[in-house]
Amino acid sequence: QLSDILSDMDIKGYQFAGLLEGELHGTLNSKSGAELAATLFVNQGTVDMASSVLGLQRIKFSRITSELEMHNHFLTIKRCEIDGHRAQTNFTGKITLMNPLGESRIRIKGALRIIGTDNNASSTDRSVLATSLGNMSYRISGSFNQPVFTLQ
């Protein structure tokens, strides 16, 4: 379970759930740092957030597919695709890992495609999503604890 793996990490305002699988290859060395490559999948997951993004505080997805590389404290997201019932996104980027993890620096660029609206969302949230139908580009910067989302 994804929540078991992430429970000890200090990322404030987020709760994760889902089934994690994949492959991880590399070396961990206290002198030279980490050299890792991973292909990871998360199935039937959710992310609960303290702050809403596009009017959403819970994001449900059917699958995440990602290819990652890590060199020392620098994580490169070579490819990440998230498929959900109402939206799909893909992105690439870099994360500079810090201690605590919530202070890690994020630089992500991606594209979001809204498939439909959530009939259970408030009328304000539905109007935000409805006017956003189609493809949108976005950036995420800041840190895990204080992310900055920008639509382009």
**Whole-angstrom distance, CA of residue 116 vs CA of residue 101:** 34
Q: Are 124 and 52 in contact (CB under 8 A)?
A: no
pLDDT, mean of each 10-residue run, the chain (152 residues): 51 77 84 83 85 75 93 94 89 94 94 71 53 77 90 86
**How many residues are listed for the chain in this entry?**
152
In DSSP notation, 69-104 reads EEETTEEEEEEEEEE-SSEEEEEEEEEE--SSGGG-
Q: Are 26 and 34 in contact (CB under 8 A)?
A: yes
User: In the prediction, which pLDDT does 11 show?
Assistant: 61
**Residues contacting residue 55 through CB under 8 Å, at least 6 positions apart:** 121, 122, 124, 125, 128, 129
